[in-house]
Amino acid sequence: MLVIRPLQENDLDDLYTMAQNAGKGLTTLPADRDILEGKINHARETFNQRIAPEAGLYLFALEDIQRKKTVGISGIQARVGLDEVFYNYRLSITVNASKELGVHVRTPTLQLSNDMTDTSEICSLLLSDEYKGGGSGLLLSRCRFMYLDDFRKHFSEKVFAEMRGVSDTQGRSPLWDALGSKFFDMEFTEADMLSGLGNKSFIAELMPKYPIYLPMLPESARAVIGRVHDNTAPALRMLQSEGFNFNGLVDIFDGGPVVEAFVHNIRTVREGMNRHAMITRKPVNLDVPAGERAMVSNRSFRDFRVTTLPIDCIGPDTVSMPPEVAEALQIESGDPVRLAPLKDAGGLTKHRYTSSVSGGASKWQS
Amino acid sequence: MWLVRPARPDDLDQILTIAGTQSARLSSTLPKQGDALTNKIEQSIASFSGRTRAGSEPQRFLFVLENTETGAIAGTAGIDARAGNGQPFYNYRRDALIHASHELGVSRRVEVLYPSHSLTDATLLCSFSIRPELRSTSAFELLSRARILFIAEHREWFTPRIAVEIQGVQLDDGSVPFWDSLGRHFFDMDFETADQHSGQLSKTFIAELMPPNPIYVTLLSEAAQQALGRAHQITLPNLELLQREGFQPGCFLDIFDAGPVLEARTDSLRTLVASHSKALHGTHEDVGETCLIAAGEREQFRCTLTPLAETLDDKLKVPIATWKVLNKTAGDRVRIAPL
């Protein structure tokens, strides 16, 4: 059984192994024990509310209970850009027109922006290769929306995600080569790493501040602006199905898009519903396809836990679960839980409940 | 004998012939179209007459180089009393920023081109054209420097700051690297078209079409970067002459081809400093050094080259033939400057 829970001190070894296997692509989780330990401590303080809410870093671990092993991580940063400056390029249009000459030219332009300042970011998603498929990635990503939903006052109304941009197998980014490298005198991977480690003041110091006119960049660079890395395409599709949209901002290094959504519009949030837990001794087959499972959370701020249950377990007021699931969620019978679909529309109409209750009470009809 | 005098309406056809043989860049200040040129000559005549005043109509002077034996026109030269002629005068200012990171121990010089109107209202030398075979003769120097003598004689019409735009790099195939890397994207036209527009239409089209923000040099093409502030090969004699006159390249570049803009303090120009006013006296011999000699105010202005001798009592012995060309007679004041 896979369970989401807050990241803990003893996750360090597993996290380090994961970061090592991930390679250079994931800059927010470098394979550096000190940095990872710092992140864990930061997350612990956040869940225990020992730091200012806006400084919060909520990191969740995906644990394989049977193996007692952490196999994935995902996070929410409460606010970006408060102690460091948060940069993006805004992909905008400059129009130059002369009526006299009948000329009207639209020039795509990158404008340096700090528009995401004070906004919550979903970030740091990493899943071990052996656990990919079967809905683990969905659980790891979507559990965050359940958390955002239940604890909205800790986050901004709007949340965003930065999607990894295009780079080749050697880690070379066409946009970096055409733009960043002209100003930074370093490799993309190095700059990206420094940025991921939080040494961001160098960006402010070295970045071009004036707008960049895209026609002055080579086609190879223009082509990747607002495009995601092939490996990130599934993550982008998942976020799009949640209601996230490209907001016109791109990463200043690799041109990857920023997608955003209002929390109240996120699909997982809209389709979530409350039940009470009912522990049952009847055997439950937990091993059903992702499309027939729902996420179930314990709604705890400090010890947030989420796992999945077959949608068959959901009743009008309660959700029945075997003791091991209740234990994983650290709840008892009668405790409030919140449910949300694990997968996009598809398996949810099979939910018995929709046909047994009149009046359209079900939120899950699709 | 070579004579520089104000352009007249009946010079039109001959000037058009010369304008047609010049390379593209000149068209911004010397139109190739009859109508536009007629206007320019009329404006010049009004300016020479003193009817126009700074602040109302633009003062734009156009001179021609005439062969007095044949009446043929062999070149043109102009002065705009106020660059921009009442409208903004556009340049790029080449400047630098230091991007430094203390944390990373990196310091980097980043060159930036800023749109600038700084030279607006400076006096501008312009419209210079001459038959190619005269390029390395003294007529070339006469035509260019006659303007400075005119300024010396009418100093109050001109400003303390003087500038001249030098044509920038254009390749043999007619392409202009700087234009191709920058302006073309925004103006959506080829270089010649833009250049002609800048001469004929009101310059508001530049305000409308020019990119409004500074340009990072490092993002220009290699060829465009090479062309920044570089003069076209054919302008080199002119460039040398102007530098001897005291003009220096500063930080300003042409917005179309990135050619250099030379600047000087008007009162420090060599011809202006070295010239002096004398009373004209006759001689029948060609004696003494060949000098520039100018006489006459406003539309009567004439300038030519003549051998002359200065006497100790402040008189100037000049061949009678020169008198005729200058329309002057004994005792009249003339201004001379050494070649």
Closest residue in chain A to residue B99, using alpha carbons only = A206
Identify the CA nearest to A273 among candidates A362, A197, A210. Answer: A362
Say yes or no: B181 contacts chain A, CB-CB below 8 A: yes
Say yes or no: A208 contacts chain B, CB-CB below 8 A: yes
pLDDT in tens, chain A (366 residues): 999 999 999 999 999 999 888 766 566 788 889 989 999 999 999 999 999 999 999 999 999 999 999 999 999 999 998 888 899 999 999 998 888 888 899 999 999 999 999 999 999 889 998 998 889 999 999 999 999 999 999 999 999 999 999 988 888 899 999 998 898 877 777 777 777 766 666 777 888 999 999 999 999 999 999 999 998 898 999 999 999 999 999 999 899 999 999 999 999 999 999 999 999 998 889 889 988 999 999 999 999 999 999 999 999 999 999 999 999 999 999 999 999 999 876 443 344 444 333 333 444 443
- Where is A114: in which H helix or E strand? none
How does DSSP assign B183-228, residue by residue? IHHHH-S-HHHHHHHHHHS-THHHHHHS-SS-EEGGGS-HHHHHHT
Q: pLDDT by residue (tens digit) across B244-268?
A: 999 999 999 999 999 999 999 999 9
Nearest CA to CA, how far is B289 from chain A (Å)? Answer: 54
User: Rounded to two decimals, what is the model's pTM?
Assistant: 0.85
Nearest CA to CA, how far is B116 from chain A (Å)? Answer: 16
Whether B120 shows a pLDDT value over 80: the answer reads yes
Closest residue in chain A to residue B204, using alpha carbons only = A98
Pairing of strands B123-130, B161-165: parallel
CB contacts of A105 in chain B (<8 Å) are 185-188, 209
Beta-carbon separation of A179 and B219 below 8 A: yes
Beta-carbon separation of A98 and B208 below 8 A: yes
Active-site annotation holder among A42, A104, A154, A229:
A229
Instruction: Compare CB distances from B186 to A107, A183, A206 and report the shortest one's residue.
Output: A107
Say yes or no: A106 contacts chain B, CB-CB below 8 A: no
Determine contact, residues A138/A289, Cβ cutoff 8 Å.
no
Closest residue in chain A to residue B113, using alpha carbons only = A210
Q: pLDDT by residue (tens digit) across B66-84?
A: 998 998 999 999 999 998 8
Determine contact, residues A175/A274, Cβ cutoff 8 Å.
no
Tokens, residue A243: 């209601």
Determine contact, residues B206/B120, Cβ cutoff 8 Å.
no
Tokens, residue B64: 């021609």
Q: DSSP character for B328?
A: -
How far is B157 from B138, CA to CA, in rounded Å? 27
- Active-site residues of B, by number, are 232
The length of chain A, given as a count of residues:
366
Nearest CA to CA, how far is B273 from chain A (Å)? Answer: 44
Beta-carbon separation of A97 and B209 below 8 A: yes
Determine contact, residues B179/B221, Cβ cutoff 8 Å.
no
Q: Which residues does residue A70 pair with via DSSP β-bridges, in sequence order?
A: A63
Say yes or no: A185 contacts chain B, CB-CB below 8 A: yes
Q: DSSP character for B234?
A: G
Determine contact, residues A36/A15, Cβ cutoff 8 Å.
yes
Triad B137, B23, B2: Cα angle to 5°: 25
Query: What number is the average pLDDT over the span B128-132?
Result: 88
Task: State residue A348's pLDDT score.
Answer: 39
Whether B151 shows a pLDDT value over 50: the answer reads yes
